[in-house]
A and B are shown apart, each in its own frame.
Chain A
Amino acid sequence: MSLFLPKLSCKKDIDDVIKGVAEKVVVLRFGRDEDSVCLQLDEILSKTAHDLSNMASIYIVDVDKAPIYTRYFDISYIPSTVFFFNGQHMKVDYGSPDHTKFVGSFKTKQDFMDLIEVIYRGAMRGKMIVQSPIDPQNIPKYDLLYHGI
């Protein structure tokens, strides 16, 4: 749990942030405050938030507070990080099965900063999907859950 990052506690807050933040990457961290990996990720996010303040606005969302977004974004593992730019969802090709969100924690602060920069530059060039700059070894591996498969 981070005391330094703004928290969004209902769907309307999330809507306002996604719609209202202009020309910046919106980072939404879906997770729970007491989860250990979430705590790791929050540490990285809060330490880099100031340096990235020109490129990104970072927000923390509790998965239980906004169930409709949890369903809409298919969040099955926490923490999951979703990126938006000017109200548009930004996809990133991490080399993992899921392009829509980053699942798990970043290994270093620099990984996260590189990712934000790549997303920002890509969005400025009109790219809706960008290639992840993070070393594939540093991306946590997981299996997508399919019900019944």
Chain B
Amino acid sequence: MGAHYCSVCRQTTFTGKAHIFGKNHQSRLRVVLLKFLEKVKEARRTLKKPLVEKFDCTQHRETFWCYCCGLEIERHSTDGNMTVLYGGLIEHMSTPEHRKNTHKFWWDNKADPKLRDKVIIPEEETERFKVEVAKVLDSFVEKEDEFIKQQADYIRAQEKHRQEVLQSLLERDAETELFNGPNGTDVCAEASVSSQLASHGSDQHVGSSFVDTMAEVKWASTGQNLTFIGYQDSSSSGNVHTGAVPPWLQDDPQEGTSGATVHPEIGPSLQEFHKHKEQEKLRKLPPNRVGANFDHSSHTDANWLPSFGRVWNSGRRWQSRRQFRQEEGQKNRQKRKREHGTNGSKKTKPAEHQTTSANT
């Protein structure tokens, strides 16, 4: 008499067959079969009238435990889009393995043989079920298509409505532009307005501008005694209705220049940095070097001459420049005096003056 594992009670007994007939086992088996039969009964209800639903991964992935075969089986059969409720269960119940296992289970556990046929679904019933399912699937697909079409219609209608609203807005803009035009050239519009004017009897405005009459007509029709200050022309810049930039966000031309100075660029600019670097480089050089504070960028006229100490020049270097200017002036005067060409060569003449200046 060896050890025996009872799968229903989930325990190992050493009493052999006696356990199966025991009160404990039988009561537990009854509970198990009750639960099992409950599920099978639900499935059998759909056997005549199959149910097809749209696939829902949270609900249609359920499994159930077949006690007879000791297997976990998908409760519903699905293809990812649609689900046949209890399809998997019914399919499993009709297989010959399940039939064999069920017989074995009933024999092993000494269950009530009356209940046995309830968990076995005959082949012909399954066939019938399959035919039914095919029909139901067709109708379900049709229904789905119809639903999609309805959705599409709804979306189309929404789009159309949106377009209409947009169109009406654009038309209103176009109308205002038309009214702002130089003469209000739309004849039929003018005619309609004049007819309205006639009906209201305010004919004193016929000669005035078209815009004014239009506004007057509006106010007259509303019947309020308000002062009209004139139509505000906003066609160029737009207004609050056309989504233009509000005045407080626009640049004020008067404040434009002052604003730029009030909010300068933070930190030194690139040019200033380069200048500073240049000056840093110069600061390393000796301060008493030649021409240390010579202004390289100063603008000078065409007659500018650099400082130059001449050979025979005594005194400061700029004196040689002044001397040269004097010589040039003298030479020009001499040239003008003796135009018949007794003047000497250009090269030797300054030397002549230099000698004289050196001697003096």
Interface residues of A (CB under 8 A from B): 11-12, 15, 18-23, 67-68, 70-76, 82, 84-91, 97-100, 122-128, 144-149
Contacts and interface: CB of A to CB of B under 8 A. Distances in A.
Nearest to A77: B347
Contact of A86 (B286, B290, B300, B352): B290
Nearest to B347: A76
B292 A97 contact: no
A67 B311 contact: no
Nearest to B349: A147
Given A74-B310, A99-B311, A123-B289, A12 B302 contact: yes
Contacts of B352: 146-148
Contact of B290 (A97, A128, A144, A147): A128
Given A73-B308, A76-B347, A88 B291 contact: yes
B289 A86 contact: yes
Contacts of B328: 71
Nearest to B346: A71
Interface residues of B, number: 35
Interface of B: 282, 285-286, 288-292, 294, 296, 298, 300, 302, 304-311, 317, 321, 324, 328, 344, 346-352, 354-355
Contact of A126 (B288, B324, B350): B288
Contacts of A75: 347
A145 B348 CA distance: 7
A104 to B, nearest CB: 16
Given A19-B300, A89-B317, A146-B355, 19 more contacts: A19-B304, A21-B296, A23-B285, A72-B305, A73-B308, A74-B311, A76-B351, A86-B289, A87-B306, A88-B307, A99-B309, A126-B289, A126-B290, A128-B290, A128-B309, A146-B351, A147-B348, A147-B349, A148-B355
